[in-house]
Structure 1
Amino acid sequence: MNFQGRFKLGLLALAVFGFLSAPAIAALEAVSDDIPAAGDGSDPTLVNVSLANGLPIWYEDEMGLKLAQCLDQGVLLADGESVVDPCNIGMTFPQFPPSLINLSRLSYWEASAAFNYLSTPDSETGAEQGGFALLVLRLAGEGAGIGALVEGNQAVSSRIRLRIDLPIPGTYRVTHPFGTVDYEITDPGRRSINQTQDVGKLAEDVQNFLVAMNNRVDFQMPGPVDLFSPDEDEGPFGAIVNQDGRTVGPFLVPTLEFNPADFMGRPVMAANGDLYIGLPFDAAVPPGDVFQPVTPGPDAVNFFRIELLEDGEGNTPGPDGDINGFFLNVANQTQTLETDLFQVVGKIFDDGLNVAPVAPEVTVGLLKGRSVVDIDVFAGVALDALDSFSEVNVHGINPMAIALADPIEGVYRRVDTNMPFLTQVETLDQGTIRRITRLASGQSLFRYLPSQAATGGDTFHYVVQDTGGLISAPAAVHVLIEDLQVERADFRVKTGKWQVSGTTDQPLIGEVANSLTVYAGPRARLSGTGDTAMTGQVALSAGAQAIDYRLVLDGISPQDNITSVNLHVDGAGQPVIFRLCGNPFIFPNPPTCAVTDGRLDISRDLTDFDLLFSGTLGVLDLDGAIDAIFAGNTYVSVVNSGNPGAQVRGNLETPVISSDVSINEGLWEINGRTQVLPGLLPNVTVRSATGVQTYSIPVRLR
């Protein structure tokens, strides 16, 4: 949770001198798949983790409540109107989905309390005194030690954090649902009490997901120097904030029944049937925090309380409750601060019947000589067809949860922890393969890099996992490396006749005949809306090292001021990936949009240097941009600061010259008339049924 106090009261100082005793309770019982916290069968190498991020699917407390990874955003509630964020996710780039490369923390459960308060003003200066108090209780996946949450460094920790501002020296007692501690404060001010106990986060706990469920009794007392030593027990990962190093649990949940009017209570049902223990935020814009009463912890405590027992000189409260006229809580004239309202997070795991998903067998093509191909194993496949929801199957496929696998043994696993490898590189006959994640979409793909001498094809195996943790049997992905050549590309201007021919070394795809489609070069017709007479054309020719283009725009009036012409990828945010013209002094330094006699006419080439990065649709390099263009996912827009109401744009298309072109002993040819013309930059491309597509081939006009 993110809280911020409005008081800043001096420097940090802390001295812990004692703690109260209580029985140790193992209040977290099991982790997926039913691996117990302790006793027979408690084997950390058997924990079932998500192939999306390498963290456990769920945790269960002693009350039988199972909570799943909470990673949902923008959830529509069952009322069909309210959209909320039910989770508290740590992400480097909040504008993108949470994924292994964009995840610093995910919570299974959280309950946090916070408040501001006022004390008696300073007796000498009359200055206002008071502060901010924060209690954070949570079970969360994050990086082990001081490392990031990355492959091979996953950990789950149970956290108890106290951050409390205190106005005067003295002895204070802090009580929360999982413990009671006395503190002797000698240097009051901001965060006079500042402790964090993380059970399960030490570097030695990496990928041991049982540690967070068990009490730790080996914590050392923090000293002034050691307070921020995160790789030692005596640092914030080992600071004592309760009497026995107790882990969190049972999970605290709201006591009220859910009320959509104030978003308080439980359970909360989403429109898709998902259930949450409560909501941390309401549906307002911007969202407001939701605080509510919760069930008690193991000692029947369901509040966060701070008590001043005596001041720094040993004075205790008198008959009226004051200490020499001082009240910690001036509003109530007491030495006690307390709240029983908590902000909660938790997604309830659906423990219904479930069956394993099916991974589709995939065949993809790679043009010989091209450096890389990104493979979407779900392209053109309905996920529900692979793992249909029903009364006996409550979990569907998690498209982020894919992993390379041995065809017999299944997922590749680490020798030391038995946890799955998620992103490691595997060497195949003709190249290498590894899983990647696209930042902007969160999509998991397999990236195949062929060797320089690669020919023929390669095969690797993979598995998919559903949201319940079940994993499919391994399925094959066949990579066909096709040597597809265009040896002739002619267009006879007078007759409108095309003559295009070439060769391929893949006449068959398995036992099925391969076929080809021949396209004219990418082009867009630009037209306007609003008060403008501008029209134009853009044509592209995509090569291995550069994209040539020609831009022609006519009908530009004196009041128009063309500041840029941009090529966009059609995805989230409609990002610009190339500037065809614009400010030459701003990266990537395009040519100026110079207008002569009402016309803009520019011919140039675009390289990797000109590319404006966009993870959407995989536009990470020049080949990614070419793929987006050939897929019809790009458009061109004109920015007219002189007439902003007039918008000029056009979608890039690659018209089909001929489809279903047959192959005869590796040879193919088209010879005939069509309505498609060569365009401003005459060129053709050829696409095979394997998915392989050539770069643009210049057309000879005859």
Structure 2
Amino acid sequence: MQNTRINTATSLLLVMIASQPALAALNAVDSGPYTQENGGFAAWYQDTHGRVLELCLSKATSSRTPGAAGAPAYMCGLASEPGFDTTQAVNFPTNFPGEAFWFTGDASIVDAATGIDLTYVSALEAAFAAEEVVEGDQVSFARIRIRVDVPQEGTYIVTHPYGVEIFEVDAAGGRVINMTRDIGIGVPQTYDGALTGDVGPFLRSVNGPYTEPNPDTFEDETFIGDPNLLEEVTGSPFGTNFIRIQGPGGIDLRTDLFAVMGKLSTDVILPTPARVERATYSRKNGVSGVEAQQDVFLQAPPPPNTASFTDSSNVSVEMTEANTTGNWYGQSSSNPTALPVTLNLSADNQLAIPNSTATTVTTPLVDLVQIHSATYNPANGQLTISASSSDETASPTLTVFSNGNDIGTLAGAGPIKTLTTNISPIPPSEIRVESTNGGSDLEEVIIQP
């Protein structure tokens, strides 16, 4: 296994696009100690919506779907395999699955009219580096897998809950789209790599959660979905709670139905995830005085939860969230007359997850710096930069940095300040402009022909 694995047929050119901003997919992972009860794996992962999922090894079965003879409808998707017998107690390493999961969210599209046959897998997986159940070889990773039989050459776009992928197919016939992206595999028994994968927040059934008894412990357990059913889901960080494939000849197919698996922890109590995305102010001289506003963006669990911030005037401002993605926004018209200012933000997840705790985070309120242009002329070695601050009344100093070195201060009478300086013979690849009021911006330098 490798840290990132992408498999494609030789006839396929795969192009990945970032149509959405990069997000922290998961919030936290069990830091140990790791026990044999969980096969030496992390006991749990928490997503940015606050849900904590345990490694799913329970033999609880679905009360909604009957299982087949010898194959119970396990809520954890367990299946007998060499070295693992589901009729016996789970025990590491003598009777333990070669693959187990904290989460899965799978879907498919099969359409005879167009010839499309698509399989989609999203998972947070526990496995063994050499694919043998061996102590010290445990790894985890976040997986996105897309496999598609396509009828003809051309461009295919697959939109899914965790992103958008573009495939250029130059030879149709069979499963020519074949992508597996695993992120997080590193040193065995270190599990934080999966936090930066593509999977998260966890998809969950709109009909759940479901409670089923564990036949071994006789305790009720709670699950975010039933992997034995196909159901609509919520939880996509982009609001794309579906699979859609678009292709040549007007192909446009979609499904909203997923098989989702995940066992909610009732023992792990964690703070509500809350990450400040931006806290900036702007002000200018208006007809009746200074016109100001404070704009605050927070990543936290979506409604029915709540979020708020205390502005520079110590006024509490309720924040709003529009599409259940966990992106909160709030605005205040207070003028931050004394800088620097530290804002307090609060997020409470207890309405959705009663055993979570509220969180308060702090962040500095800074001006919004924008670099308008950064160009380099190789003929004369001149680097020219223009930038502005959202604070038009205090006129903070804007300093330019290249490779950590101060290369000058922007100047000018209006809101947009400029700097032209000689940097020779090698231009910087990027520059940063920093304001004395805390804001900054980073920009790649355009090299003129």
TM-score normalised to structure 1 length = 0.33
Write the mapping of 1:364-513 to structure 2, written as runs, cut at 5 A: none
Asked if the contact 1:27–1:250 (Cα under 8 Å) also holds between the matched residues in 2, the reply is yes
> What is the alpha-carbon distance in structure 2 between the residues aligned to residue 352 and residue 140 of structure 1?
20
Counterpart of 2:123 in structure 1 is 138
Q: How far did 1:73 drift?
A: 2.1
Asked if the contact 2:157–2:167 (Cα under 8 Å) also holds between the matched residues in 1, the reply is yes
Q: What secondary structure sits across from 2:194 in the alignment?
A: helix
Counterpart of 1:248 in structure 2 is 199
> What is the alpha-carbon distance in structure 2 between the residues aligned to residue 168 and residue 57 of structure 1?
45
2:210 equivalent to 1:267: yes
Asked if the contact 2:98–2:131 (Cα under 8 Å) also holds between the matched residues in 1, the reply is no
Counterpart of 2:391 in structure 1 is none
> What is the alpha-carbon distance in structure 2 between the residues aligned to residue 336 and residue 77 of structure 1?
35
Give 1:51's match in structure 2, choosing from 36, 49, 61: 36
Q: How far did 1:96 drift?
A: 4.4
Amino acid at match of 1:209: Y
Q: How far did 1:158 drift?
A: 0.5
> Per-residue CA shift, 1:488-539, capped at 9, x if unaligned?
xxxxxxxxxxxxxxxxxxxxxxxxxxxxxxxxxxxxxxxxxxxxxxxxxxxx
Counterpart of 2:233 in structure 1 is 294
> What is the alpha-carbon distance in structure 1 between the residues aligned to residue 87 and residue 240 of structure 2?
39
Is the alpha carbon distance of 1:349 and 1:178 closer, same or farther for their aligned partners in structure 2, counting shifts above 3 Å?
same
Asked if the contact 1:304–1:338 (Cα under 8 Å) also holds between the matched residues in 2, the reply is yes
Counterpart of 1:88 in structure 2 is 77
Q: How far did 1:352 drift?
A: 6.6
Is the alpha carbon distance of 1:352 and 1:110 closer, same or farther for their aligned partners in structure 2, counting shifts above 3 Å?
closer
- The percentage of aligned residue pairs carrying the same residue is 32
> Per-residue CA shift, 1:532-589, capped at 9, x if unaligned?
xxxxxxxxxxxxxxxxxxxxxxxxxxxxxxxxxxxxxxxxxxxxxxxxxxxxxxxxxx
Q: How far did 1:50 drift?
A: 2.5
Is the alpha carbon distance of 1:63 and 1:188 closer, same or farther for their aligned partners in structure 2, counting shifts above 3 Å?
same
Q: How far did 1:253 drift?
A: 0.2
> What is the alpha-carbon distance in structure 2 between the residues aligned to residue 95 and residue 294 of structure 1?
28
> Per-residue CA shift, 1:447-489, capped at 9, x if unaligned?
xxxxxxxxxxxxxxxxxxxxxxxxxxxxxxxxxxxxxxxxxxx
> What is the alpha-carbon distance in structure 2 between the residues aligned to residue 56 and residue 339 of structure 1?
33
Q: How far did 1:272 drift?
A: 2.2
Amino acid at match of 1:108: W
Is the alpha carbon distance of 1:76 and 1:174 closer, same or farther for their aligned partners in structure 2, counting shifts above 3 Å?
closer
Q: What secondary structure sits across from 1:190 in the alignment?
A: coil
Q: How far did 1:192 drift?
A: 1.3
Amino acid at match of 2:261: V
Asked if the contact 1:105–1:149 (Cα under 8 Å) also holds between the matched residues in 2, the reply is no
Asked if the contact 2:75–2:223 (Cα under 8 Å) also holds between the matched residues in 1, the reply is yes
> What is the alpha-carbon distance in structure 1 between the residues aligned to residue 268 and residue 187 of structure 2?
31
Q: How far did 1:349 drift?
A: 0.7
Larger Rg: 1
Asked if the contact 1:12–1:187 (Cα under 8 Å) also holds between the matched residues in 2, the reply is no
Q: How far did 1:280 drift?
A: 1.2
> What is the alpha-carbon distance in structure 2 between the residues aligned to residue 65 and residue 59 of structure 1?
8
Q: What secondary structure sits across from 1:198 in the alignment?
A: strand
Q: What secondary structure sits across from 2:206 in the alignment?
A: coil
Give 2:156's match in structure 1, choosing from 168, 172, 177: 172
Amino acid at match of 2:49: M
> Per-residue CA shift, 1:195-218, capped at 9, x if unaligned?
1111122xx432110000114xxx
> What is the alpha-carbon distance in structure 2 between the residues aligned to residue 106 and residue 169 of structure 1?
37
Amino acid at match of 2:77: N
Moved over 6 A (4+): none
2:75 equivalent to 1:75: no
> What is the alpha-carbon distance in structure 2 between the residues aligned to residue 208 and residue 76 of structure 1?
32
Q: What secondary structure sits across from 2:205 in the alignment?
A: coil
Asked if the contact 1:12–1:189 (Cα under 8 Å) also holds between the matched residues in 2, the reply is no
Is the alpha carbon distance of 1:88 and 1:95 closer, same or farther for their aligned partners in structure 2, counting shifts above 3 Å?
closer
Give the structure with the larger strand fraction: 2
> What is the alpha-carbon distance in structure 2 between the residues aligned to residue 179 and residue 352 of structure 1?
29
Amino acid at match of 2:191: F
Is the alpha carbon distance of 1:299 and 1:104 closer, same or farther for their aligned partners in structure 2, counting shifts above 3 Å?
same
Counterpart of 1:188 in structure 2 is 172
Is the alpha carbon distance of 1:352 and 1:105 closer, same or farther for their aligned partners in structure 2, counting shifts above 3 Å?
closer
> What is the alpha-carbon distance in structure 1 between the residues aligned to residue 123 and residue 17 of structure 2?
22
Counterpart of 2:102 in structure 1 is 108
Q: How far did 1:12 drift?
A: 7.0
Which sections of structure 2, spanning at least 5 residues, go unmatched?
A: 1-8, 270-449
Counterpart of 2:378 in structure 1 is none
Amino acid at match of 2:34: V
Q: How far did 1:28 drift?
A: 0.7
Is the alpha carbon distance of 1:177 and 1:268 closer, same or farther for their aligned partners in structure 2, counting shifts above 3 Å?
same
Counterpart of 2:11 in structure 1 is 13
Q: What secondary structure sits across from 1:64 in the alignment?
A: coil
Q: How far did 1:95 drift?
A: 4.7
Counterpart of 1:213 in structure 2 is 195
> What is the alpha-carbon distance in structure 2 between the residues aligned to residue 96 and residue 152 of structure 1?
26
Q: How far did 1:351 drift?
A: 2.5
Asked if the contact 1:140–1:157 (Cα under 8 Å) also holds between the matched residues in 2, the reply is yes
Q: How far did 1:299 drift?
A: 1.1
Counterpart of 1:155 in structure 2 is 139
Q: What secondary structure sits across from 1:248 in the alignment?
A: coil
Q: How far did 1:165 drift?
A: 0.6
RMSD over equivalenced CA pairs, Å: 2.7
Asked if the contact 1:110–1:345 (Cα under 8 Å) also holds between the matched residues in 2, the reply is yes
Give 2:223's match in structure 1, choosing from 248, 271, 276: 276
Q: How far did 1:19 drift?
A: 2.1
Q: How far did 1:149 drift?
A: 3.6
Is the alpha carbon distance of 1:50 and 1:112 closer, same or farther for their aligned partners in structure 2, counting shifts above 3 Å?
same
Counterpart of 1:340 in structure 2 is 256
Asked if the contact 2:28–2:45 (Cα under 8 Å) also holds between the matched residues in 1, the reply is yes
Aligned residues: 247
> What is the alpha-carbon distance in structure 1 between the residues aligned to residue 15 and residue 126 of structure 2?
32
2:19 equivalent to 1:25: no
Q: How far did 1:143 drift?
A: 1.1
Amino acid at match of 1:279: D
Write the mapping of 1:498-577 to structure 2, written as runs, cut at 5 A: none
Q: How far did 1:18 drift?
A: 5.0
> What is the alpha-carbon distance in structure 2 between the residues aligned to residue 182 and residue 87 of structure 1?
32
